[in-house]
Amino acid sequence: MPIQFVDPSLPRVIDGWRSPRLGLDMPIVSYGWRGTPLLLFPTAAADFLENERFFLVKAIEQSLFAGRVRLFSIDSINGHAWMDGHVPVHEKARRQAMYMSYVEEEVVPYIRTVCRDGEARPITTGASFGAFHAANSFLRRPDLFGGTIAMSGFYDLEKGYLKGYSDQNVYFNNPLWYLPGINGRALELLQHDSRIVVVTGQGEYEAPDASRRLSDALGAKGIPHWLDMWGHDVRHDWPAWRDMLPYHLGRMGL
């Protein structure tokens, strides 16, 4: 019998289009039929079905079947950007900026159309590199996104990816750089109309200090959030994320 990554009775729709911003065919899969939209990013250089293959979608089926959440999962372009050693840093940063434009100007309108809610602010989520994209998408545009559940992530590109380089594309896609300067309406939304969870294990291959640094930056701006530090037995791997995501959706009432 073939492995069932998701319950076959769960509504599942694969769609996509050729992104004019990226010049790439960008697929998207949705699960469920109603509820708060949740935008899920893959880890590392993976694709839009990775979270399904590793049973993260199955882990939140209760929320999906109950109509509390409608899940959307998209591709990463990390393999064309930060994780491609042959691409110079300035070009990686440019491609990251284009990816965020794709998320903000193409994915969000698609989600709003599918959900028949022109003002929907999806919650972002992801693990590892997906947590970086989830937090970055949300913090850049809290007018478009209503919160984040960032799992086992890092939130500063400087140490591993920038090699001393900086420009506007880097600055406005590196949360620990731009977060101190957020003000006005964006800050008001972050302080009063957002749901933010930064969760990490402290075991093998985890980087809990990265989550602490993001928490400190949020706290310095008076932005309410929950820094949730799981134990030293919780390693950087799928079993932890399959526990973290449904737990925190439940804490949000989703």
Distance CA 85, CA 106 (A): 28
Residue 4's pLDDT is 85
C-alpha dist (Å) from residue 180 to 102, 210, 216, 224, 241: 25, 16, 10, 15, 29
Q: What is the CATH number of the domain that holds 164?
A: 3.40.50.1820
What percent of the chain shows pLDDT beyond 70? 100
Q: Which distant-in-sequence residues (6+ apart) come within 8 Å of 248 by Cβ? A: 149, 197, 199, 228
C-alpha dist (Å) from residue 52 to 30, 75, 128, 181, 240: 11, 12, 16, 37, 15
Distance CA 40, CA 91 (A): 25
Residues 16-26: pLDDT tens digits? 999 999 999 99
Distance CA 204, CA 163 (A): 26
Domain count, the chain: 1
Residue 31 has pLDDT above 70, yes or no: yes
pLDDT band at 159 (very low <50, low <70, confident <90, very high): confident
Residue 1 has pLDDT above 70, yes or no: no
Residue 3's pLDDT is 85
Tally: H helices and E strands in the chain: 11, 8
Q: What number of other Cβ atoms are within 10 A of residue 44's Cβ?
A: 14
Amino acid in the structure at residue 10: L
54 domain-assigned: yes
Residue 2 has pLDDT above 80, yes or no: no
Q: Residue 197: which domain range?
A: 12-251
Residues 33-76: pLDDT tens digits? 999 999 999 999 899 999 999 999 999 999 999 999 999 999 99
